Structure 1
Amino acid sequence: MSPSDASDSAVLPEYLLDSVSLLSKKWHPAIVRCLADTTGCSFSDIEDRLDGVSAKVLTDALSELQAYEIIERREVSQSPLRVSYTLTERGEELNEVIASLADWGETHLAAPATERVVLVAEDNPRVNEMHTTWLEEEYTVRTASDGEETLRRLDSDVGVVVLDRRMPGPSGDEVLDWIRSQQYDIRVVMATSEDVDLDLLDMRFDDYLTRSSVDWRN
């Protein structure tokens, strides 16, 4: 096998490593994306758009991209000196590669959106249904009709519990005590049709609502 054949069959050919090295430099892809779909940008325009880049680092990056014929520097005027940077044809092709990498990263590497789960614990089916209708467009809603089912449906994914204070089985008060004993990071909204009483002073809920309270979603 000739040296040329060995190079062609390499798992990581030299030109691929060179391409990766070029794109791995922090500001190179950013500059290419900054210049994409423009008729040209001045040095100060690029500096303003790339938050955190120093003038020296930007100067060096622009010079290197010019050496690779990825960008072109043109003098717009000499007195005062004004220059404009644009992508070359080679730069336009590289921009498509960078855009594809960005799409791939968004699909496969981006952290998934955190699911927001609300558990509605209420023994009245109509109230359960009402809360679910209010919330399901913005949250994942779980429902429970008594204390036992509430405890079974509770886990660390739940962010908020709307808790009927007087539901069957373990009461809402007892479920609240259990949630706090487990040290779950869960907000508890205690809901009831009863009048407020002095027992509430010792209860560790985040909000207390009566049946007449208006939309508590915010």
Structure 2
Amino acid sequence: MNANQETTTVSRPETAGRRMSSDERREQIIAAAIAVFGARGYEGTTTDDVARTAGVSQPYVVRLFGTKESLFLAAIQASRDELMRVFRVALEDDSSDRPVAKRIGEAYVELLSVRGLHQTLSHAWLLGGHPVIGAAARQCFAEVWRFFRDEAGFDADEARRFLAEGMLINVMIGMRLVDDYGSDPSITELFRACFPTELPHILDIAPRGDEPW
């Protein structure tokens, strides 16, 4: 995905001229939806926006997902599934002596490589009053809490701190604060405090203000 172009296609390479299956095309559309919903929010996104980004027709998106609401729910579910997958991989990785919290935190930051994932979830958290999306968002949030408490073994205060720091990172990424790194001393200090070891990588992959998503 070339994020510096206003109309961007999220696609996977086709091999030997093979046409993509419907499942592969569905995954491609969901990846595009996560990118666009993440940048523009639920209300600011149309199925046509997602179709153009995925490189398919808008009627095809509607045929697969029906409504924008259903497409957003699919984007939330895919984002949640990927979030929980990398958390569990990090939890089970005992190949180093790094603490569990450190491994999970690094996995969360590395998910910035999935453009829009953090922000799609953030937009879902803000739609608690929506009769359908709100319920899905609450279920997702509760699942993350249960992971920290039941699987990772965090106590309630440690889980709270982890979630709070994750929300701070989401806000920083959503505001494209990386644009002010190096020019605003407060923002520079904030980035260095949040990413003491991963800062060069974060500065490289964080979305910029002039990128569509």
More strand by share: 1
- Asked whether the two chains share a fold, i.e. TM above 0.5, the reply is no
TM range (shorter): under 0.3
Q: Under a length normalisation based on structure 2, what TM-score does the superposition of the two structures give?
A: 0.24
More helix by share: 2
Q: Which has the higher contact order (CA 8 A, sep 6+)?
A: 2
Q: Under a length normalisation based on structure 1, what TM-score does the superposition of the two structures give?
A: 0.23
